[in-house]
């Protein structure tokens, strides 16, 4: 089973940062992994359909998703669909809810999800074949070759699902059982990695991946026609990275990247809509160990963003230049660390206010650590917010965030516990509201939100003997995310919890191993959410608890290994909805065979 | 008959009597419950949260009446409501259905399937006309069987409807009003209107008013052509008056107040204007800045009901004005309220 560290000990993060390392199976999407393990709320319309996440009660646009340090959020709407990111294409996934996540990228006001590739220089062929309920079939296949200085790794995925599960249609008089219509999903893609060691001090890493996703878009319950609503996504991502050790103290990382996203939307009654967005990026980062106790980092980033959609069919572009600087100090006795950083962004030659952060951690005892962070951040408007016709507003200001958090981490022989309290303020939140005169929906800096809460994480590992052990992970999040200023004509939302933002979420995972058998039971609790901004008592989705279970048998044959697993999702057959009137599947099954054929002796 | 049998029989009769009494009282209670102001709430598009609510002015309470009576939600985009033969026909546009309920207890009678229905009017002889988008015909509904019995090709998508002197006037999206002979159920004529035909309102003997909301550039929001209100005389078959308006809108609302011999109209902003049948326009009601009127309705006493959809994502509001134009009440309803109908 994949490793899982709820309270990361190895995260490469600044002082005070809170990071969760997520396990990465071979099948499924990042949305599946986050939904199962993190206690973050994943807004999902149906399996395989649009999925975004809300971190600490903020919007989906406030969580950056960074692939090898490149922000994948769409410049068009500041979101990213987590179902378009297959886990098989990543070697490491982590969530950083720390206040200084804002220094990671523009828009990471609430936090960041890190997806990294870490070349493991092995000669092997690996993959997984999976089949499941509702027409789910998945193949993941990879092969890596190590030629000494040169390492190549290829990965391929293909995933299809009908998602035609049954649900009770409570809009019809007799509440008949029906099957979800127009919900098919097809995804295929490949990734090619190359890592070349020029010499002992310099290496070059190249990664290109292409993924194509064709999805039918099912209607909400109560809607008669599907109109064959359909969306095709095509994505190219390319990065070339040079890593050079200029001396024993100075390290230089140069990156160039290109990302292209095409989204084609089809509806029987509408003209097709074509969206095309490209990002070109160049970045240099210097890490300089000024002394054994002080480390300085600085990066200069240039990004060109271009997009063309029906809303701005002539196309728009913008140039971003950002300078990030950070200094880390570790005390002589290693008990305390301090980190001070700032990101300065310039958009088309205009300065956006700086995003500074200050973090420190202090070892109260050898096993008890106190971390705190203060930060300010900005999110520049998306292209749609600025330019969409009608309603785009070029006068928009960046959203402003100020936040603070403090946490305690306890680590006692196999038992870890962390608690974090946080307070975020976001002002000038961009909102689309109907113009009272023209009735055209327009983007405005119309809202302020205060989000405060508490996070608890715990992790326990107990080894009974060499042949059986128990691991336990738990995470709970309490978030009050309140509108402190609202659109002038929507006073009923003032002081109310943001809609589709649960106050309580929790996740528990228990993993028991006996010899080569593994039993994993996961529980996810999502508190009730309001579906309207005014928090009307009748407009709520009830809380739900989902149980998932996996039984796996792992075996070795010579150098090779394999794992056969059976997974039961929604074990208790719970009827639930994440989005109003969007049914979700009842109990369903998956069977998978995972293998690693190792050629190294 | 043994004593045990007598006891059992007596007990059964008693039980039946009490259960019957309880049932009667519930029916009476429900009949009272559904009287009040019926509010048509469109709901958010593609969210299936449209509803039909009842507001009781006496107790100042509001509830989702259709859901209460039928233990299920209504559907997506509740477009309009019409009363015919003691039943309410609720047109649910994006659910492709017309829910038929009893006016008295709101219990579902049946559901009629039809593609993208919009409005429904009674044309007599137990027949109704149903307009719809995405189809060049209007449907004829048999009110005895509550089924679509025929369709009439009008060569346009259809929207607002009004009946005058055995003729149904059908607003289309192409600035034309199509005239349907109600007895023959056949197309008889058409009238070209000004740009942005939105509403067709019956003004009583021989006259109709057409609200044309002009033209707005979707991209810029700029007005390309101002709206017009036109008076049509059915005797002459001609438009007898065209009154230019000072602005344009996307939808617009208009109702006729017979006692004032005037129409009240709005182009989506916070101002309700009055136009006499002679074409004189004046400002009738100015709502607070920021309010955008989503729908106008009027009852037989001249009370005007103004709906405000707000952000389309929270409970909308209804403002009530008496015949003198004085606000007498306001209350929160469902999501995106568009019309009010008095259930007395």
* Residues of chain A found within 8 Å of residue B220, distances taken between Cβ atoms: 389-390
- Chain A residues in contact with chain B using a Cβ-Cβ cutoff of 8 Å: 170-173, 175, 219-225, 269, 389-390, 433-440, 487-490, 492-493, 499, 531-534, 536, 538-539, 580-581
Q: Greater confidence, A8 or B188?
A: B188
**Cβ pair B332:A221 closer than 8 A:** no
A6 within a domain of the structure (yes/no): no
- How far is A561 from A468, CA to CA, in rounded Å? 19
Q: How far is A226 from chain B (nearest CA, A)?
A: 10
Instruction: State percent of chain B over pLDDT 90.
Output: 81
pLDDT computed for residue B26 by the predictor: 38
pLDDT computed for residue A98 by the predictor: 62
**Cβ pair B310:A490 closer than 8 A:** yes
In which region does residue A16 sit, left (phi positive, over 0), alpha (psi from -120 to 50) or beta (all else)?
left
Above 80 in pLDDT, residue B6? no
For A458, B92, B296, B320, the CA distances from B42, given in Å and listed in that order, are: 47, 8, 14, 19
**Cβ pair B314:A536 closer than 8 A:** yes
**pLDDT tens digits, B208-221:** 999 999 998 877 77
Q: Which of B293, B269, B273 is nearest to B284 (CA)?
A: B273
* Residues of chain A found within 8 Å of residue B115, distances taken between Cβ atoms: 224-225
pLDDT computed for residue B258 by the predictor: 94
pLDDT computed for residue B25 by the predictor: 37
Q: Which of A155, A140, A169, A252 is nearest to A203 (CA)?
A: A252
Residues 6+ apart with CB under 8 A from A471: A4, A459, A460, A461, A462, A509, A510, A511, A512
A3 within a domain of the structure (yes/no): no
pLDDT computed for residue A37 by the predictor: 82
pLDDT band of B291, cuts 50, 70, 90: confident
From first CA to last CA, the distance across chain A in angstroms is: 23
What mean pLDDT is reported for chain A?
A: 91
Four-CA torsion B49, B51, B57, B60, nearest 10 degrees: -30
For A293, A330, B39, the CA distances from B333, given in Å and listed in that order, are: 64, 60, 7
Split into its structural domains, chain A has a count of 1
- How far is B73 from A175, CA to CA, in rounded Å? 11
* Residues of chain A found within 8 Å of residue B74, distances taken between Cβ atoms: 171, 222
A497 within a domain of the structure (yes/no): yes
Q: Which of B140, B135, B139 is nearest to B155 (CA)?
A: B135
A485 within a domain of the structure (yes/no): yes
- Chain B residues in contact with chain A using a Cβ-Cβ cutoff of 8 Å: 46-49, 64, 70, 72-76, 94-97, 108, 111, 113, 115, 134, 216-221, 249-251, 268-270, 289-292, 309-315, 332, 335
Q: How far is A491 from chain B (nearest CA, A)?
A: 10
Angle at A371 between CA A370 and CA A377, to 5 degrees: 165
pLDDT band of B32, cuts 50, 70, 90: low
**Residues of chain A scoring pLDDT < 50:** 1-13
pLDDT computed for residue A413 by the predictor: 85
Domain containing A551: what range?
Answer: 19-598
pLDDT computed for residue A4 by the predictor: 44
pLDDT computed for residue A101 by the predictor: 62
- How far is A72 from A496, CA to CA, in rounded Å? 31
Q: Which residue of A has its CA nearest to B74?
A: A171
For A30, A55, A410, A474, A476, the CA distances from A457, given in Å and listed in that order, are: 21, 15, 10, 6, 6
Q: Return the residue matching tokens 């998703």.
A: A65
DSSP secondary-structure letter at A2?
-
Token reading at A305: 């963003």
Check: CB of residue A15 under 8 Å from CB of residue A551: no
pLDDT band of B19, cuts 50, 70, 90: very low
**Cβ pair B49:A531 closer than 8 A:** yes
Above 90 in pLDDT, residue B263? yes
Across the A:B interface, residue pairs with CB atoms under 8 Å apart total: 118
A315 within a domain of the structure (yes/no): yes
A9 within a domain of the structure (yes/no): no
- How far is B86 from A429, CA to CA, in rounded Å? 50
Q: Return the residue matching tokens 């650590």.
A: A369
Mutation choice for B interface testing from A312, A429, A532, A541 by most B CBs within 10 A: A532
Token reading at A597: 């054929």
Nearest to B311 among A219, A223, A433 (CB): A433
Nearest to B249 among A170, A439, A492 (CB): A439
Q: Give the burial class of B304: count Cβ atoms within 10 A of its Cβ; 0-12 exposed, 13-18 middle, 19 or more buried.
A: buried
Q: How many CA atoms lie within 13 A of B291 on its CB side?
A: 18
A7 within a domain of the structure (yes/no): no
A10 within a domain of the structure (yes/no): no
- How far is A82 from A33, CA to CA, in rounded Å? 10
**Cβ pair A532:B313 closer than 8 A:** yes
CB neighbours of residue A187 within 10 Å: 21
**pLDDT tens digits, B114-170:** 999 999 999 999 999 999 998 999 999 999 999 999 999 999 999 999 999 999 999
Above 90 in pLDDT, residue B27? no
**Cβ pair B335:A390 closer than 8 A:** no
CB neighbours of residue B315 within 10 Å: 23
DSSP secondary-structure letter at A220?
P
pLDDT computed for residue B7 by the predictor: 42
Angle at A374 between CA A371 and CA A378, to 5 degrees: 135
pLDDT computed for residue A530 by the predictor: 94
Q: Which residue of A has its CA nearest to B97?
A: A224
pLDDT computed for residue A538 by the predictor: 85
pLDDT computed for residue B292 by the predictor: 85
- Residue A14 sits at φ, ψ, to 5 deg, of -75, 165
In sequence order, what E strands does B154-252 have?
A: 158-164, 167-172, 176-181, 186-192, 197-202, 207-212, 215-216, 223-225, 228-233, 238-244
Above 90 in pLDDT, residue B180? yes
Check: CB of residue A317 under 8 Å from CB of residue A306: yes
Look at residue A8 and give its three-state secondary structure: coil
- How far is B139 from B131, CA to CA, in rounded Å? 7
pLDDT computed for residue A228 by the predictor: 94
Q: Which CATH number is A312's domain given?
A: 2.40.170.20
- How far is A385 from B219, CA to CA, in rounded Å? 14
Check: CB of residue A451 under 8 Å from CB of residue A57: yes
Tell me the pTM. 0.89
Look at the alpha carbons of A308, A311, A313, A318 in this order and tell me if their dihedral is positive or negative. Answer: negative
Look at the alpha carbons of B307, B311, B313, B315 in this order and tell me if their dihedral is positive or negative. Answer: negative
Mutation choice for B interface testing from A221, A437, A531 by most B CBs within 10 A: A437
**Cβ pair B290:A219 closer than 8 A:** no
**pLDDT tens digits, A467-494:** 999 999 999 999 999 999 887 777 788 9
Check: CB of residue A296 under 8 Å from CB of residue A288: yes
């Amino acid at each position: 089973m994949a490793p899982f560290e709820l309270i990361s000990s190895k995260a490469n993060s600044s002082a005070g940062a809170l990071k969760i390392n997520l396990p990465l199976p071979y099948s499924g999407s990042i949305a599946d992994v986050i939904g199962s393990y993190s206690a973050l709320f994943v807004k999902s319309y149906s399996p395989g359909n649009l999925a975004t996440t809300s971190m600490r009660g903020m919007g989906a646009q406030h969580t950056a998703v960074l692939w090898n340090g490149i922000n994948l959020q769409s410049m068009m709407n500041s979101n990213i669909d987590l179902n378009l990111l297959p886990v098989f294409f990543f070697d490491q996934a982590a969530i950083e809810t720390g206040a200084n996540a804002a220094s990671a990228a523009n828009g990471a006001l609430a936090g960041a999800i890190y997806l990294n590739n870490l070349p493991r220089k092995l000669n092997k062929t690996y993959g997984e074949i999976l089949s499941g309920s509702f027409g789910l079939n998945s193949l993941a296949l990879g092969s890596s070759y190590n030629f000494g200085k040169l390492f190549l790794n290829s990965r391929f995925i293909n995933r299809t699902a009908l998602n035609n599960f049954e649900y009770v249609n409570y809009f019809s008089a007799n509440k008949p059982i029906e099957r979800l219509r127009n919900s098919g999903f097809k995804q295929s893609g490949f990734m090619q990695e190359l890592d070349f060691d020029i010499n002992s001090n310099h290496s070059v890493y190249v990664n290109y991946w292409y993924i194509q996703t064709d999805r039918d878009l099912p209607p909400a319950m109560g809607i008669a026609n599907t109109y064959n609503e359909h969306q095709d996504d095509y994505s190219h991502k390319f990065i070339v990275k040079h890593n050079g050790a200029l001396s024993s103290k100075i390290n230089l990382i140069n990156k160039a990247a290109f990302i292209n996203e095409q989204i084609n939307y089809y509806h029987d009654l509408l003209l097709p809509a074509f969206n095309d967005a490209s990002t070109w990026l160049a970045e240099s980062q210097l890490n300089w160990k000024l002394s054994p106790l002080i480390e300085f980092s600085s990066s200069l980033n240039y990004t060109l963003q271009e997009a063309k959609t029906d809303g701005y069919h002539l196309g728009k572009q913008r140039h971003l230049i950002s300078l990030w600087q950070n200094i880390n100090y570790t005390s002589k006795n290693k008990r305390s660390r301090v980190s001070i950083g700032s990101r300065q962004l310039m958009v088309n030659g205009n300065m956006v206010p700086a995003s500074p952060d200050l973090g420190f951690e202090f070892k109260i005892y050898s096993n008890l650590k106190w971390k705190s962070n203060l930060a300010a951040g900005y999110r520049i408007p998306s292209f749609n917010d600025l330019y969409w016709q009608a309603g785009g507003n070029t006068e928009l200001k960046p959203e402003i965030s100020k936040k603070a958090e403090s946490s305690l981490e306890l680590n006692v022989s196999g038992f870890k516990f962390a608690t974090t309290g946080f307070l975020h303020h976001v002002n000038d939140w961009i909102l689309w509201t109907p113009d009272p005169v023209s009735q055209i929906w327009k983007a405005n800096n119309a809202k302020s939100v205060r989000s405060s809460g508490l996070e608890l994480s715990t992790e326990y590992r107990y080894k009974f003997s060499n042949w059986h052990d128990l691991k336990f992970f738990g995470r709970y999040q309490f978030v009050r995310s309140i509108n402190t200023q609202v659109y002038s004509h929507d006073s009923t939302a003032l002081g109310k919890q943001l809609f589709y933002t649960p106050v309580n979420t929790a996740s528990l995972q228990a993993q028991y191993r006996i010899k080569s058998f593994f039993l994993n039971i996961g529980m996810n609790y999502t508190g009730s959410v309001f579906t309207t901004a005014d928090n009307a008592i009748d407009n709520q989705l009830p809380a739900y608890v989902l149980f998932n279970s996996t039984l796996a048998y792992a075996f070795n044959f010579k150098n090779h290994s394999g794992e056969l697993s059976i997974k039961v999702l929604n074990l208790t057959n719970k009827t639930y909805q994440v989005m109003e009137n969007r049914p979700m599947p009842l109990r369903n099954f998956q069977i998978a065979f995972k293998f690693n054929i190792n050629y190294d002796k | 008959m043994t004593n045990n049998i007598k006891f059992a029989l007596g007990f059964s009769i008693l039980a039946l009597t009490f259960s019957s009494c309880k049932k009667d009282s519930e029916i009476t209670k429900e009949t009272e419950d559904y009287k009040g102001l019926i509010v048509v709430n469109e709901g958010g598009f593609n969210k299936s949260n449209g509803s039909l609510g009842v507001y009781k002015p006496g107790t100042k309470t509001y509830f989702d009446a259709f859901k209460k009576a039928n233990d299920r939600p209504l559907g997506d985009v509740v477009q309009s409501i019409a009363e015919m033969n003691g039943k309410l026909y609720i047109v649910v546009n994006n659910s492709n259905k017309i829910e038929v309920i009893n006016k008295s207890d709101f219990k579902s009678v049946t559901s009629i399937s039809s593609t993208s229905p919009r409005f429904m009017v009674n044309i007599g002889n137990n027949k109704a006309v149903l307009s719809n988008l995405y189809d060049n015909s209007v449907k004829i509904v048999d009110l005895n069987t509550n089924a679509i019995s025929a369709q009439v090709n009008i060569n346009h998508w259809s929207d607002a409807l009004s009946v005058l002197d055995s003729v149904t006037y059908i607003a289309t999206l192409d600035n034309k009003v199509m005239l349907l002979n109600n007895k023959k159920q056949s197309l008889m004529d058409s009238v070209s209107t000004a740009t942005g035909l939105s509403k067709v309102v019956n003004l009583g003997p021989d006259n109709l008013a057409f609200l044309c909301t002009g033209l707005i550039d979707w991209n810029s929001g700029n007005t390309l052509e101002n709206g017009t209100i036109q008076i049509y005389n059915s005797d002459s078959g001609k438009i007898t008056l065209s009154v230019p308006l000072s602005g344009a809108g996307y939808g617009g609302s208009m109702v006729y107040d017979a006692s004032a011999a005037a129409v009240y109209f709005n182009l989506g902003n916070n101002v309700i204007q009055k136009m006499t049948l002679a074409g004189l326009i004046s400002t009738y009601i100015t709502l607070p800045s920021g309010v955008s009127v989503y729908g106008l309705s009027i009852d037989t006493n001249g009370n005007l009901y103004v709906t405000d959809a707000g952000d389309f994502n929270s409970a909308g509001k209804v403002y009530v004005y008496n015949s003198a134009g004085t606000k007498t009440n306001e209350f929160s309803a469902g999501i995106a309220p568009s019309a009010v109908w008095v259930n007395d």
